């Protein structure tokens, strides 16, 4: 009967396996570093072409380069530049109809001589679409037809005997990321813009959620400065985790808040506090927020000052609501 290996014992040759993994990572890291060190004017020209394009970015490649091309297209789209992966063969059977003269092509090929790619390249050239080539051979057929050539060559693949593209696909992916991120900075693409394109993600929720989406507007814990502390105690007891909001006479602007901490400090000084006016106890420089403020900013303010709730003010500093930390947390603002 086969005896299962003892998982508690180290695998024979484990160090050699780890060393091989490290060698692959070091080789690919060195390839990307070389790319960074040699990046030059051609990259700047490619960014200019992309920034001035009125249409979409058409990204294409064959095999492993095609897989990288799909990811590059997705990165452009998610950072505010409409892009689409087009399979070079399918493009010759109807998909070319999506390409316009206002578009830009990004073609990926390690050798620059992939036969399947040239039907699409020729059609783009015929339409006058500028082509940015990511290739390891600037003198290849693709390099010669391209408007701009970005050097994606590598000294060696990480795979023994170069049986599979490894370092070369890593370099192509990194170069695509460099194009997309530099372009978004040139365009002034903001975190809020990214969130608008990713409303279902964590970052989207943080950047789209406003205090107005979470705050309470009914049955607010409001008092005026002349009211006795006994009323304040009742409010704080009924609405745990809140603050008593103190407005001027006639419900004018915010003048202060009374927190549980204010009440605790008062009780430590005297046990005869129920008739003391709220105005003598309140914090007169309270922290507050507005309905249009990002919910994440309100959370940050609360965390910095150890606050569980904030009054929400309008432009005239009138209280229009109150927002609680636990509600912000439930809504995904943190």
Query: Was domain 19-189 assigned CATH 3.40.50.10490?
Result: yes
Instruction: Decide the pairing of beta strands 289-290 and 309-313.
Output: parallel
Angle at 276 (CA atoms; ends 275, 279), nearest 5 degrees: 135
19-189 and 211-330 share one fold: no
Q: Would you give per-residue pLDDT tens digits along the chain (334 residues)? A: 555 555 555 555 888 889 889 999 999 999 999 999 999 999 999 999 999 999 889 999 998 999 999 999 988 987 878 888 988 876 554 456 678 888 999 999 999 988 888 888 988 998 899 999 999 999 999 999 999 999 999 988 887 766 678 889 999 999 999 999 999 888 876 555 555 554 444 444 555 678 888 888 888 888 899 999 999 998 888 876 678 889 887 767 899 999 888 888 888 888 888 999 998 999 888 899 999 888 888 888 888 888 888 999 988 888 999 998 888 877 766 6
Tell me the C-alpha distance between 332 and 119, whole Å: 49
Confidence (pLDDT) at 206: 55
Tell me the C-alpha distance between 64 and 167, whole Å: 12
Q: H helices within 188-294, ranges in order?
A: 191-197, 202-208, 229-238, 260-269
Helix, strand, coil shares of the chain as percentages rounded to 5?
50, 15, 35
Tell me the C-alpha distance between 59 and 72, whole Å: 8
Q: Where are the domains of the chain?
A: 19-189, 211-330
Q: Give the closest residue to 73 by CA, choosing from 63, 64, 85, 56.
A: 85
Query: CB of 80 within 8 A of CB of 197?
Result: yes
CATH number attached to the domain at 211-330: 3.10.580.10
The full 3-state SS of 239-268, as one line of letters, equals CCCCCEEEECCCCCEEEEEECHHHHHHHHH
Confidence (pLDDT) at 137: 92
Q: Residues with Cβ < 8 Å from 314, sequence gap 6 or more?
A: 290, 291, 320
């Amino acid at each position: 009967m086969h005896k299962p290996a003892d998982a508690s014992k180290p695998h024979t040759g484990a160090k050699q396996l780890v060393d091989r993994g490290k060698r692959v990572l070091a080789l690919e890291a060195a390839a990307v570093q070389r790319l960074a060190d040699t990046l030059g004017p051609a990259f700047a020209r490619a960014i200019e072409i992309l920034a001035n394009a009125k249409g979409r970015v058409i990204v294409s490649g064959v095999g492993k380069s095609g897989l990288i091309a799909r990811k590059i297209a997705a990165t452009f789209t998610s950072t505010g530049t409409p892009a689409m992966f087009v399979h070079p063969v399918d493009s010759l059977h109807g998909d070319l109809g999506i390409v316009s003269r206002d578009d830009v092509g990004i073609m990926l090929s390690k050798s620059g001589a992939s036969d399947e790619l040239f039907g699409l390249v020729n059609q783009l050239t015929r339409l006058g679409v500028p082509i940015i080539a990511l290739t390891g051979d600037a003198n290849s057929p693709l390099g010669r037809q391209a408007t701009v050539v970005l050097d994606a060559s590598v000294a060696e693949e990480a795979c023994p005997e170069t049986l599979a593209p490894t370092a070369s696909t890593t370099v192509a992916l990194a170069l695509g990321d460099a194009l997309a991120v530099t372009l978004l900075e040139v365009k002034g693409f903001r975190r809020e813009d990214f969130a608008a394109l990713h409303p279902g993600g964590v970052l989207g929720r943080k950047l789209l959620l406003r205090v107005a989406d979470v705050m309470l507007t009914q049955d607010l814990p409001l008092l005026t400065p002349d009211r006795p502390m006994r009323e304040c105690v009742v409010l704080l007891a009924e609405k745990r985790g809140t603050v008593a909001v103190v407005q001027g006479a006639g419900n004018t602007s915010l003048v202060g808040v009374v927190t549980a901490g204010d009440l605790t400090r008062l009780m430590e000084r005297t046990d005869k506090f129920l008739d003391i006016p709220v105005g003598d106890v309140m914090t007169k420089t309270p922290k507050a927020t507005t309905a249009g403020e990002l919910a994440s900013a309100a959370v940050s303010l609360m965390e910095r000052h150890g606050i569980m709730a904030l009054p929400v003010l309008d432009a005239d500093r009138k209280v229009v609501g109150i927002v609680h930390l636990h509600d912000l947390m439930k809504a995904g603002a943190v």
